């Protein structure tokens, strides 16, 4: 399982779990703490968008996010068009991996590293697409949207 956190500046952190390992709330909270340390020198508040998977909305996780002082955006159910990791990151990654065969985990990690390092302005474009998608949703209520510093999982 691949876990990826990214923002408009690029990939913040990615982690490839061991075969058969899954995300549970305690592991997810450990990962969030790792991300918090990586982001500690940024002067802007973190606005965090993640899907509604059970470990992401577990009481322990929600408390961890509050304790870190991050703002958590609610992810609309059944709206993959509003979740950039689904429509942007993983679609591009799927295209990158198509036809590749790995004989070792090391080879897979090297390919993932190459993929993530090959993206420069790519992340900013993904955030901009999200802003456009969300703006369409909220236009009817007359609000405006400015997504500058968001963190995605």
Most confident of 24-28, 53-57, 140-144: 24-28
Computed over every residue of the chain, the mean pLDDT equals: 78
DSSP 70: -
More confidently predicted of 133 and 87: 133
Is the residue at 52 inside a domain? yes
Is the residue at 107 inside a domain? yes
The CATH code of the domain that includes 123 is 3.30.420.10
Is the residue at 142 inside a domain? no
When pLDDT is cut at 50, 70 and 90, the band that residue 29 belongs to is very high
- What is the domain count for the chain? 1
Handedness of CA 148, 37, 11, 65 (dihedral sign): negative
Is the pLDDT at 48 greater than 80? The verdict is: yes
- C-alpha to C-alpha distance for 2 and 84, rounded to whole angstroms: 16
Q: Sheet harboring 150-152: ordered strands across?
A: 10-16, 2-7, 150-152, 47-49, 71-73
Is the residue at 29 inside a domain? yes
Is the residue at 97 inside a domain? yes
When pLDDT is cut at 50, 70 and 90, the band that residue 107 belongs to is very high
Domain span at residue 58 reads 2-137+147-152
Q: What pTM was computed for the model?
A: 0.71
pLDDT above 90: percentage of residues in the chain: 31
- C-alpha to C-alpha distance for 12 and 151, rounded to whole angstroms: 8
- C-alpha to C-alpha distance for 128 and 133, rounded to whole angstroms: 9
Q: Tokens for 24?
A: 């549970």
pLDDT at 140: 47
Torsion of Cα atoms, 74 then 87 then 19 then 120, to 10° = -100
């Amino acid at each position: 399982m691949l876990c990826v956190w990214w923002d408009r500046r690029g990939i913040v952190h990615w982690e490839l779990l061991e075969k058969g390992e899954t995300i549970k709330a305690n592991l997810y909270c450990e990962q969030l703490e790792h991300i918090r340390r990586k982001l500690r020198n940024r002067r802007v508040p973190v606005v965090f968008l993640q899907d509604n998977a059970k470990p992401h909305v577990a009481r322990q996780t929600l408390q961890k996010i509050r304790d870190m002082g991050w703002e958590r955006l609610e992810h609309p159910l059944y709206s993959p068009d509003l979740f950039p990791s689904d429509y942007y990151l993983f679609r591009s990654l799927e295209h990158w991996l198509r036809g590749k065969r790995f004989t070792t985990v090391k080879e897979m990690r090297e390919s993932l590293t190459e993929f993530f390092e090959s993206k420069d302005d790519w992340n900013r474009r993904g955030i901009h697409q999200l802003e456009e998608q969300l703006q369409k949703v909220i236009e009817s209520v007359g609000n405006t949207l400015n997504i500058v510093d968001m963190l995605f999982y």
